[in-house]
Structure 1
Amino acid sequence: MSFRNYKVPYSSEDRYSRKVAYFSMEFAVHQPLKIYSGGLGFLSGSHLRSAYELRQNLVGIGLLWKYGYYDQARNQDQTLQVNWMEKQYSFLEDTGIKFQISIHDHPVWVKAFYLNPETFHSAPLFLLSTDLPENDYVSQTITHRLYDANVATKVAQFILLGVGGAKLLDELGFSPEVYHLNEAHGISAGFYLYRKFGNNLAEVKKRLVFTTHTPEEAGNEKHDIYLCHKMSYFCGLTLDEVRNLTGIQDDQFNHSLVALRFARIANGVSQLHGHVSRSMWEKYSGICPILSITNAQNWRYWADKQLYRYMEEGNDVMWDDRKQYLKRRAFELVADQTGKLYDPKVFTIVWARRFAGYKRADLITRDNARFSALMASKKYPVQIIWAGKPYPMDYPAINDFNHLVHMSKGYKNMAVLIGYELGLSKRLKQSADLWLNNPRVPREASGTSGMTAAMNGAANFSTDDGWVPEFVNHGNNGFVIEKADYARMNTQEQDEYDLNMLYKLLEEQVLPLYYDNHDTWRQVVKNGMRDVRYQFESNRMAHEYYDLLYNAS
């Protein structure tokens, strides 16, 4: 197959005919392709799957991580161990395309690989690698580890995604009408396009759109502008030219701020996040409009179709039987990893996602007396599972993970699993009766794990953040901790309020409903299944991207 003058290998409807290149540092397309860390990858993977289902004229641009994010293993005492294993992918096609980009004023060879749409039923995906014998070792390491801890390596990764991705599209002859940056990691593409179109920023703005995922200014990536310049981030522009072009006058290059100034339109990833983003950035001049397109997940990939079939047939006996089968199957993984035998009839709470401080994985355990009483209850027995990957250099998050591991040794109904990737994620969502999500409001831009939990017969129980305000109707399709006046609270007061409300709702509403009125419980879960399918399915999201971003003038 020749990749010159590349076209998406299926015809597109007129409304999806605009050529789009979708840049992302990570894509969670399917379990065997381990080039993702968490929610950003899960989102972009679902986006590519829906682009394929809708036959959109879109290609993905990413990086081929030799060691992935990392492999989560255990030390002798069961605490977290970080392993880096080389990955092999026989299903990726070598495009035969090789080209050079400049990093640190030094030519670096780049090779492009291709994930055929038919392999995993996703839009075409091109992945770049510098792990080539033509490069020196330092250049080879650019595509070794996703989100490398070394600052210079990370800046080089951003250059590779942005400049390398934009140059690949020229090599392919694809000529996108829209360059979509999923997060600001690839904004170096803006400088490449600026040079390509004769130093004309209007031509860049005509083509660039941007999705921001971070609801706090401090959480947006910033790097020393002199380091970026030294590393050839700005495609040969002088620092004075960069400052005039971007409006940045201090020494910190803010990737998101520049993306908002280079794009013609941007979006937040929930209604709440769009509002937070607009108020967060409004003090800066030259910002493009920020809309809201709420994240979603691909129903065809994630949902348990038999649960949906029994729901549509009104066959409660078979629905219950299927849910218990899904729990029993997932509990085999719990037993295999921890030696603990879980009961499919017992109410099962799951907390599983990326470990990060604001997500408060350990919140439910912080009141020791109430937690012990919950775990020992005979009237309303529970069993709890945790899983998730902390960033390998985020030592507070790793400490949270290890603390839960040590705690779990004292309870036969508490388990902490490793290897939280697409495959385990799906099994745990099928195992859950209650999907627990308790980020510190308003830190979660969207959060999508609860969407796929609902698609597998789990009720959401969450603080009122991210996508949850658009979805949960308390007591009808899930459960939500009502917002307090968090702005007047310090962090400790906010955590105490949320913890007390979590237990109050769990003890007074959730557990009695499950055990004493199971027909109503089942209806709550079914309502969630129905609502999530139509509001938070990624075909809706992929359509909105064309409708509101790509086709908008």
Structure 2
Amino acid sequence: MSTSFALPFQVPYSINPRFSKPVVYFSMEVAVDQALKTYSGGLGFLAGSHMKSAYELGQNLIGVSVLWKYGYYDQIRRTDNTMDVQFREKIYSFLQNTGIEFTIDVFRRPVRVRAYYLKPDTFQTVPLFFLTTDIDGNDQASRLISYRLYDNDVRLKIAQCMLLGLGGAKLVDALGFAPEVYHFNEAHALPAAFQLFQQVDSVEKLREKLVFTTHTPEEAGNEKHDINLLNDMGFFGEVPLPTVREISGIHDDVFNHSLVALRLSRIANGVSKLHGDVARQMWGRYEGICPIIHVTNAQNQQYWTDPAIEAARLAGDVEAIAQRKKELKATLFRVVADQVGKLFDPNVLTLVWARRFAAYKRPDLLTEDADRFARLLNQTKYPIQVIWAGKPYPMDAGAIEIFNRLYFLSHLFPNMAVLTGYELGLSKLLKDGADGWLNTPIVTREASGTSGMTAAMNGAVNISTNDGWIREFAKPGENCFLVPTADPELPYYARDAHDRDHLFTFLENEILPMYYERPADWQALVLRSMNDVNAFFGANRMAEEYYEHVYQ
């Protein structure tokens, strides 16, 4: 073991006494910098902001994740410009080999695991540890475990959870960190609970240490696997199956990961006020679950906010905000020109839809009324530019088809662009450069969402359906434009038509006229939006709430 990791490991900065309780945070993905591609989307963005704010606050917290050899994937285009998925090896010279290696048993065969370290001052985060099986001594099947984030092979996905959970728990022991709280960001790290149970030998003592954050607002979206397959693979470590059934309350063969996490934790939280309500309703019919509260997601202001636009906000200088916004748009538009050969104008109102491509987020909602969409983009009284970006899950053919359809539709409009490579870097440029941030999920399907927060921090106005975090932010007409919630009994096509019609009406009758004819009103709305989002949706508030309401 390297001398820099002599036992016991201590967080290498001054700890704020308010946050002295030692905590280990498990997340399958974490997004802390464009240079470190160990994330897919919102879950990683959230984890990355949490790790940055915990560092700023001096919290006694370390993070554990996985070092994905190929990341999620690189989003590229084929010769005909359809989207393609590229898996390319990533090499990071700034990660430190800890010298810590150990084995976990997968299908009762030993798999070697190595831990790498990201020092806090590299990207201004708490200490982060990344696990890999891509090391000498492992066969190819074992190396594959840490190749692709969210692999579509069922056994590999289970093995990835074992790497994070069993491997993460063993790493914590090897470090001698002795956390009082094990925080599971989603249920991927659940095997750590069984590793810990072997040490404390009591469900009550186990619950004292575990807390759980759920991000999935539909039961069907939570991971379920055959309990016998999990047992055969060694998911439960050395805990025998009868004992697993006894402590988990799973007596059939369907092992629901989130349900078991709720039963083995002391407390759990949803990630917005609405999601907390949805989670309590969704899981409340099950016996033995822990209390479910909510801690609304947030994003790290220091990382995401442009310093000049933040200085203008603090000064209340709307003219300086507007001028800086044009400069930021010009920077974004150089990327637009490079990727798709279109020259956008910084003086033109620019809308952005950018996040993970998934059907429930409805990226193509506006374009489903082809005639009205064409009229909006072709009219010249109030010019408009629209940009899309985002990564579909690499095996989601439907979402990839939507992405391609939008790209080919953009050929008809010089003021429409679809960009590839939506990662932290492009995300920052889009939020800097957007005037309006489109958010169109089916209501109650988005647990929180966070992209609109960082867009608002940089002077973009949210134009959104009434879901997730936006319910705690929105003052319709004062700091955003909010689509009234459709009747949930409507069939999907009528609900989509309702939401689409309101979005078009906002754009045609309120947003565009205000932007061009009443710029003072627009600038006042932008300033209110920026002030309101900074008042509550910064990740320092979120990191404090975890210590105050979840860890304590």
Shorter chain as denominator, the TM-score bin is: over 0.9
1:207 match: 209
In structure 1, how many angstroms separate the alpha carbons of the residues matched to 2:222 and 2:341?
Answer: 41
Output one character per residue of 1:147-177: Cα deviation in whole Å (capped at 9) or x when no partner.
0111100000001101100110000000100
Q: How far off its partner does 1:240 sit?
A: 2.4
- One-letter identity of the residue aligned with 1:443: R
Aligned to 1:544: 545
- Post-superposition Cα deviations, 1:20-58, rounded to whole Å, max 9, x if no partner, equal 000000000011000000000000000000000000000
Q: Which residue does the alignment assign to 1:408? A: 410
What residue is the counterpart of 2:502 in the other structure?
Answer: 501
**What letter corresponds to residue 505 of structure 1 in structure 2?**
F
Quick check: 1:152 aligned with 2:155? Answer: yes
1:7 has 2:32 as partner: no
Instruction: Give the letter aligned to residue 292 of structure 2.
Output: I
- Name the SS for the 2:481 alignment partner: strand
Paired amino acid for 2:233: M
SS in 2 for 1:154: helix
Shift of 1:13: 1.8
Q: Which amino acid aligns with 1:100?
A: T
Match of 1:375 in 2: 377
Question: Does the Cα contact within 8 Å between 2:28 and 2:65 map onto a contact in 1?
Answer: yes
Distance 1:94 1:312 in 2: 42
Give 2:490's aligned residue: 489
Pick aligned residue for 2:97 from 94, 98, 121: 94
TM-score (norm 1): 0.98
Equivalent residue, structure 2, for 1:30:
33
| Deviations 1:385-419, CA, capped at 9 Å, x for gaps | 00000000011111110110111111111110000
- Within 2, Cα distance between the matches of 1:196 and 1:315? 58
Q: CA deviation at 1:342?
A: 0.3
Q: Does 2:77 align with 1:74?
A: yes
Distance 1:61 1:476 in 2: 41
1:354 match: 356
- Tell me the equivalent position of 1:197: 200
> Which of 30, 52, 55 is 2:55 aligned to?
52
C-alpha distance in structure 2 between counterparts of 1:140 and 1:312, whole Å: 50
8 A Cα contact 2:40 2:72, kept in partner: yes
Does residue 62 in structure 1 map to residue 71 in structure 2?
A: no
Percent identity over the alignment is: 56
Shift of 1:492: 1.6
1:464-484 CA distance string (max 9 Å, x none) = 000001001011111110112
Aligned to 1:169: 172
Deviates more, 1:431-440 or 1:489-498: 489-498
Post-superposition offset of 1:485: 2.1
Q: Distance in 2 between matches of 1:98 and 1:313?
A: 52
User: Counterpart of 1:210 in 2: which secondary structure?
Assistant: strand
Q: CA deviation at 1:83?
A: 0.3
Number of positions where the alignment pairs a residue of Structure 1 with one of Structure 2: 549
| 2:23–2:61 CA contact under 8 A, matched in 1 | yes
For 1:455, the equivalent position in structure 2 comes to 457
| Structure 1 residue 361 displacement after superposition | 0.3
The separation in 1 between residues aligned to 2:280 and 2:321, in whole angstroms, is 43
Counterparts of 1:337 and 1:175, CA distance in 2: 49
For 2:215 and 2:321, the matched residues in 1 are separated by: 36
Larger mean Cα displacement after TM superposition, 526-535 or 271-280: 526-535
Partner Cα distance (1:237, 1:46) in 2: 35
Matched, 1:439 2:441: yes
Query: Per the alignment, in what secondary structure is the counterpart of residue 47 of structure 1?
Result: helix
Q: What TM-score do you get using the length of structure 2 for normalisation?
A: 0.98
Residue 112, structure 1, aligned to residue 107, structure 2: no
Q: Which residue of 2 aligns with 1:43?
A: 46
The answer to whether structure 1 residue 272 and structure 2 residue 274 are counterparts is: yes
> Any stretches of 5+ residues in structure 1 without a counterpart?
none
In the TM superposition, what is the alpha-carbon distance from 1:490 to its structure 2 partner? 1.9
User: How far apart are the structure 2 equivalents of 1:431 and 1:384?
Assistant: 11
Aligned partner letter, 2:539: S
Deviation at 1:222, TM superposition (A): 0.9
Pairing of 1:494-533 with structure 2 (within 5 A): 494-533=495-534
2:543 matches 1:535: no
Q: What secondary structure is seen at the aligned counterpart in 2 of 1:439?
A: coil
Distance 2:152 2:511 in 1: 42
* Of 229, 232, 235, the match for 2:234: 232
Unaligned runs of 5+ in 2: none
Describe the superposition over 1:319-368 as per-residue Cα deviations: whole angstroms up to 9, x where unpaired.
22211000001000000000000000111010000000000000010001
Letter in 2 for 1:119: T
Match for residue 146 of structure 2?
Answer: 143
Deviations 1:98-135 (A, max 9, x none): 01111110111000000000001000000000001111
Once the two structures are TM-superposed, the CA of residue 253 in structure 1 deviates from its matched residue by 1.1
Residues 313, 530 of structure 2: 8 Å contact kept: no
Q: Which amino acid aligns with 1:311?
A: R
Deviation at 1:381, TM superposition (A): 1.1
Cα distance in 2, alignment partners of residues 126 and 311 from structure 1: 36
Which runs of 4 or more aligned residues in structure 1 lie more than 6 Å from their structure 2 counterparts after TM superposition? none
Instruction: Determine the C-alpha separation between the residues in 2 that align with 1:318 and 1:300.
Output: 19
| C-alpha deviation, 1:501, in angstroms | 1.1
The AA in structure 1 aligned to 2:515 is Y
Q: Distance in 2 between matches of 1:410 and 1:311?
A: 38
Distance of 2:98 and 2:375 partners within structure 1: 59
